[in-house]
Chains A and B, each alone.
Chain A
Amino acid sequence: MTSLADGDWHRLHPASPLLRGGIFVFALLGFVIANLRERLVELAFGVPRESGDPIDAIYENGAVGWALLIVAGILIVILIAFTLSWRMHTFRVGDESVEVRSGILFRSHRQARLDRIQGVNIVRPLIPRLFGAAKLEVSVAGQDANVQLAYLGSALADGLRRDILQLASGARQPRSAEAPTAVDEPTTDADAAQPAADSATGLPATRRTALNDYANARVGEFLAPELDPDAAPPESVVRIPLLRLIGSIVFSGFTVFIVIAIVALIVSVIIGGNEWLLIAIFPGLIASIGYYVSRFTKSLRYSIAGTSDGVRVGFGLLTTSNETLPPGRIHAIGVTQPVAWRPFGWWQISINKAGHSTNSGAAGQAATTVLPVGSLADVAKVLELILPGFAIDEQRALIQQGLTSRGGGNDGFTNAPRRAAWLRPFSWRRTGYAVSAEAVLLRRGVLARELVLVPLARLQSVAINQGPVRRRLRLASARLHTVTGPVSATLGVIDVGEAVRLLETVTAGAVRSADSDTSHHWSRSAQNSPGTPTLVPYGPTPARTTPTEVTS
């Protein structure tokens, strides 16, 4: 255990106020430079100035003393404010909760229960990353309910996340399988408070070596692999090859839009006389290049891996981010394949989750996309990490059928009847559902294929609907309610009788599954097999015994 999760109050990285105010500091710097640019040009190149700048004005008015006083005053006020805000911003990680106290005039005290943690996210924006700092965010369910620790020393943040997850998992004694070597030595030497202490000693020789060490540690951190090789078994790691990443971005819906815009542009030029169209579209095309580049750099170095405390999704080249989702925090999983990806056999996986990180995810998409693009094998690997009970053969077969089967016949899914073709002319064969021991599977779409998996233990409620048109066709529609997110678990057409069956089986499954669910303290039940709680086969649980106070 690092010293940070010991139940005492700790402070953040001393440079935090400066790093948090990052944009503001740069804006201020830019403002000063813009006002003095002629003076700077003169200093650098000896080009004589023509007009005066603020400093000239101060000279002429003989107010040098005042100006210096004001600048010094502002600097002192900023320094005091930063120091105070740093001193007042403290956090504590106890056995039950994470707490943060902050604010100078308006004090705030936020406390999050550890068993309610939905995910722990570590973000390293470019500039804090250069200084070896990282932002740690503990997300819990609810709007704006996250506990943010910005900023911590990079290695401290990693250690703190490990401790928080370990405490939250309910494993009371330190896990022996967890390698303490995960924090390598040189980085711990040069973390948080160290530079300040060095400058206090004042000896030039030691300072230089300390500075050297500091620089080396920073460079080492910057070049270190995004995913610590000790943290996850290598066979569970999914990465995206560069070509596939480029391909997935090129063959996206946005490209279709761009192509249409370009065609419209060419046509308008050929026809002539429509300059306004050129003016309207051209800036957009240039901006789209920026969009492609940012999508690309944000998805670089993408990795998803299973650790002992859940799935870890990391990405980013310059600004890096990685989030750990403990087991049982995923409310719905959507595996989709856009039409343009079909020839390549690529799929995308997105999820619904209750906690929402304030940082956006890979590829400029919401942080709910856990696999931006992957082959079928990658999909299988990722599902194995995020879906309870994936290892059961029956469920694996169902998922296989759900992804690639053309539908119809006896493929394990209850499919829509033939008359559903009135409403789903192409995809009615593939529109169906299946219920396995741990999840409901909804399959739909034939050109753009889609499979939705809802873990039964996370399901909130089930609804079946019928309007006049579906009534004439003896059909209904069904919807499984989960927390809000990009995945919507709806089934557009289903036979009336089947709809009722769906309602009953799914509700029964949801009740049974929630009873046997232990994921709020995921390790407590899996103590006997530490290291792989996500992969423990759940198996069909015995039927729930109805409490007597209800049936009596």
Chain B
Amino acid sequence: MAQQPVPDYLGDESVAPASTEPASTEPASTEPGPAAPAPAEPTVPAEPVPPVGARLDLPEAGEWKRVSPKYVMVEIVGTVIFLLVVCAAAGALWLLLDQVWAAWAGGLLALITLISLAFEPRRVRSIGYQLRADDLLFRRGIMYQRFVSVPYGRMQLVDITRGPVARLLGLADLKFVTAAAASGVAIPGLAEADADALRDRLVELAESRRAGL
């Protein structure tokens, strides 16, 4: 459906579109179900909730364009730096100020961070976007999924930023800004040339469908 003249950022990672992943492999399925039984228990018959089809997905949507797999490195470096800061802070509290709880809290936080590190490649693969006829569709997240659709005409500006690690890898982040602060469409980890091409394409699309504020 969305045959754009934009360069195909898909590359070879298109073999793993998230939408075709079986739901059973999700970490979500290991979650403890509908948390504490709500006070409405007597009025609600326990309805069997099938695990399949519960996942948020856009079946009619075309093929998702993915961000560069190299972006995993950026995320990992960020997480590792965070881990080091946490360990340093906890260690300082523990050794210098004799706060034993700090060691436990720091250790727990480090463990959670390490586990989340294992999901990093999967999380990066979940980021996707599509240029449809009239709107930009953006998705991200596995446990907490988010789909955003922004009509092109609502564009206020397109922002391209490059962090230090991303610059080393030749990547850039693209942010599509509307008048609503909550829109939050930020596509990270695009190859620099692709980010520029996508920006020009988005500006062109927005120009042809300009709407007032």
Contacts and interface: CB of A to CB of B under 8 A. Distances in A.
Interface of A: 115-116, 118, 141, 328, 354, 418-419, 421-423, 425-426, 457-469, 471-474, 476, 479, 481-484, 496, 499-500, 503-504, 507-508, 510-511, 514-515, 517, 519-520, 544, 546-547, 549-552
B95 to A, nearest CB: 37
A481 B180 CA distance: 6
A461 B150 contact: yes
Contact of B54 (A141, A461, A471, A549): A471
Interface in B20-65: 28, 31, 33-35, 37-40, 43-44, 47, 49-50, 53-60
Nearest to B182: A481
B28 to A, nearest CB: 5
Given A466-B55, A496-B56, A474 B151 contact: no
Contact of A419 (B3, B35, B49): B49
Given A422-B38, A471-B54, A503-B58, A549 B144 contact: no
Interface of B: 3, 28, 31, 33-35, 37-40, 43-44, 47, 49-50, 53-60, 133-135, 143-151, 153-154, 178-185, 205, 208-209, 211-213
Contacts of A549: 208
Given A354-B213, A422-B40, A504-B60, A465 B146 contact: yes
Contacts of A418: 44, 47
Contact of B44 (A422, A465, A550): A422
A473 B179 CA distance: 33
A379 B171 CA distance: 52
A64 to B, nearest CB: 63
Given A115-B212, A464-B56, A484-B181, 7 more contacts: A463-B149, A467-B144, A472-B34, A474-B49, A511-B153, A544-B134, A551-B133
Contacts of B181: 484
Nearest to A550: B133
A461 B49 contact: no
27 contacts: A141-B179, A141-B213, A418-B47, A419-B49, A421-B38, A422-B44, A425-B40, A462-B148, A463-B184, A464-B147, A468-B143, A473-B34, A473-B54, A484-B180, A484-B181, A496-B53, A496-B55, A500-B58, A503-B147, A507-B135, A508-B134, A515-B209, A517-B212, A519-B212, A546-B133, A549-B208, A551-B133
A354 B179 contact: yes
A259 to B, nearest CB: 26
Nearest to B135: A507
**A141, A460, A515 pick with most chain B CB within 10 angstroms:** A460
A135 B187 CA distance: 45
B144 A466 contact: yes
Contacts of B134: 507-508, 511, 544, 546, 550
B34 A471 contact: no
B149 A507 contact: yes
B39 A425 contact: yes
Contacts of A515: 209, 211
Nearest to B40: A425
Given A419-B44, A476-B56, A546-B133, A463 B147 contact: yes
B165 to A, nearest CB: 28
Contacts of B151: 461, 507, 510-511, 514
A499 B148 CA distance: 12
A225 B143 CA distance: 59
A515 B153 CA distance: 9
B144 A116 contact: no
B211 to A, nearest CB: 4
Contacts of A464: 56, 146-147
Contacts of A421: 38, 40, 43-44
Given A418-B47, A460-B183, A479-B182, A469 B34 contact: yes
Given A419-B47, A422-B40, A496-B54, A461 B154 contact: yes
A322 B190 CA distance: 49
Contact residues of B: prevailing secondary structure: loop
B31 A469 contact: yes
**B53, B144, B184 pick with most chain A CB within 10 angstroms:** B144
A37 to B, nearest CB: 53
Contacts of A507: 134-135, 149, 151
A482 B213 CA distance: 10
Nearest to B211: A514
Q: Which 7 A-B pairs have the closest CB atoms?
A: A425-B40, A481-B180, A460-B180, A514-B211, A461-B150, A468-B31, A466-B56
Contacts of B148: 461-463
Given A421-B43, A481-B182, A500-B57, A467 B213 contact: no
Given A141-B213, A460-B179, A519-B212, A503 B54 contact: no
Contacts of A508: 134
Nearest to B55: A471
A469 B145 CA distance: 12
Given A418-B44, A460-B150, A466-B145, A474 B182 contact: no
Nearest to A462: B149
B5 to A, nearest CB: 9
Nearest to A472: B33
B106 to A, nearest CB: 26
B145 A465 contact: yes
B213 A461 contact: no
B54 A472 contact: yes
Nearest to A328: B212
Contact of A471 (B28, B37, B38, B133): B28
Contact of B144 (A426, A465, A552): A465
Contacts of B60: 504
Contacts of A550: 133-134, 205
B56 A460 contact: no
A423 B38 contact: yes
A500 B58 CA distance: 6
Contacts of B44: 418-419, 421-422
Nearest to B30: A468
Contact of B28 (A354, A465, A468, A496): A468
B187 to A, nearest CB: 14
Contacts of A141: 179, 213
B181 to A, nearest CB: 6
B213 A471 contact: no
A504 B31 CA distance: 29
A311 B74 CA distance: 51
A471 B180 contact: no
Contacts of B146: 463-465
A56 B180 CA distance: 64
A247 B150 CA distance: 43
